[in-house]
Amino acid sequence: MTFTSRFSLSRFSTARFSTARFSLSRFSTAGFSSTTVSALGTLVVGVLLWASGAFTLIPELGGHSTPVTAAILVVGFVAQIVAPRRPAAALAVAVVLVVLDLPSGVSLPLWISLTDIVFVTVTVGAPRLRRVVAVGCGLVTVVAAAVVALAVDPRTGVLVGLLGVAFLISPLGYAQSVNATVRAATAERAAAQAERTIALVDERRRVSRELHDTVAGHVSAIAILAEVARDADDPQPAVASIRANSLAALAELREMIDVLAADGDEAVTVRWSSLAPLLAAARAVGSQVVVRGEPDRWPLRAETVLTRIAGEALTNATRHAPGEKVTVELAVDDRFAEVTITNRVGPESTVGPGNLPGAGPWVSGRGVHNMKIRAESVGGSATVGPEGDRWVVRARVPREAR
């Protein structure tokens, strides 16, 4: 058999085997790992080449005896099995065998094993080892082709170069593709984890706002009303208001628990009428509360946001300026819905224990922040602060709140 025909056979065998090897490597069969499957495939191909008389690429150089041929197949098989755990050692063994085998005619199964070991080394090896293997494979291919072209003839040099590409450069390309896929998958998982973390943080903040707005307002009102009931000649109005705020807090907590337990992206929604217990609490501590405007034409989401903001403002006024007049004004036009809560800053006004030091009355570190976050979450805005002798909370959101 001529060198050219042997080269054609080797290309056919290598291409067919490579396709089978890379396909089989994706699966496990009867408990075998992909490495074992690949090594067994190489062993089977080697036996078939041996039986067909195509074991060596250049039989004119003498080939091997039967024991040596069997030893080559066994050592190549073992090197492939070891390669994923000891890539450097397996590669060193394969290279030594290839060099020792060259004078005897180039054993094709040994080169197929080398191809697989190069692939595994570049896939699982350390970065430095990968670079060494890549440079080495490129140099061996170019130098071997050049030497044979000068020593024999250019045509044979080209064929040797193509063999180098088939057995050394191709597995490098496959390995780089696998590495790129692994890096992309790792980056995708990292991005998904980051998105999940952000989503969890956002959800915790949302739950925190809901709990603050659901519980804090009513509980604060209950505490204030308990003080009023203790000192009042007639505690019945305060007691009734305590009961109303307790029931309202329980109802809103149940609704929130139902939403959190449900599937989907449901949101806690409240209507303007849910402010009734807070309005009653403000009146029970002696404040005159005036409500102007009608919420009938409000979209539900805008109504929910502005109700929460108004509830926080009423709670702060009840807590820090009891007995002062409170005005709640509603305004709705074709584009915006707005609520303004105003109360006079009286001489007995205080800064609550959870407020920001030096920031002035009612500037709660969490409550005021939540007001602004709620308004901004639907594309609106909220301002909180003193205007003369009054404290004003003003929130404005689009009617079609996003």
Do residues 42 and 116 make contact, with C-beta atoms less than 8 angstroms apart? yes
Residue with tokens 């959101």: 397
User: Residue 391: beta bridge partners?
Assistant: 343, 386
Q: Domain limits of the chain? A: 3-192, 193-398
User: Residue 340: beta bridge partners?
Assistant: 329, 394
Rounded CA-CA distance 381/391 in Å is 17
Task: Please give the average per-residue pLDDT across 179-203, as a whole number.
Answer: 83
- Please give the pLDDT value at position 32: 43
Residues 13-48 pLDDT 10s:
444 334 334 333 333 333 346 778 888 888 888 888
Residue with tokens 């807070």: 278
| Range scoring the smallest mean pLDDT among 137-141, 168-172, 353-357, 398-402 | 353-357
Start-end of H helices in 125-169? 127-151, 154-164
Task: Please give the average per-residue pLDDT across 365-373, as a whole number.
Answer: 78
Rounded CA-CA distance 283/187 in Å is 58
Rounded CA-CA distance 14/203 in Å is 55
Task: Please give the average per-residue pLDDT across 124-135, as a whole number.
Answer: 88
pTM of the predicted model as reported, rounded to 2 decimal places: 0.50
- Categorize the per-residue pLDDT at 326 as very low, low, confident or very high, splitting at 50, 70 and 90: very high
Do residues 371 and 384 make contact, with C-beta atoms less than 8 angstroms apart? yes
- Categorize the per-residue pLDDT at 341 as very low, low, confident or very high, splitting at 50, 70 and 90: very high
Could you tell me how far CA 391 lies from the centroid of its own chain?
44
- Please give the pLDDT value at position 236: 81
**Residue 284 clears pLDDT 90, i.e. is over it:** no
- Please give the pLDDT value at position 358: 34
- Please give the pLDDT value at position 363: 41
Helices (H) and strands (E) in the chain, counts: 13, 5
pLDDT, averaged across the chain: 78
- Categorize the per-residue pLDDT at 322 as very low, low, confident or very high, splitting at 50, 70 and 90: confident
Do residues 355 and 365 make contact, with C-beta atoms less than 8 angstroms apart? yes
Task: Please give the average per-residue pLDDT across 135-140, as a whole number.
Answer: 89
Please name the CATH architecture into which domain 193-398 falls.
2-Layer Sandwich (3.30)
| CA 84 to each of CA 14, 36, 124, 171, 358: distance values in angstroms, whole numbers, following the listed order | 21, 10, 7, 15, 65
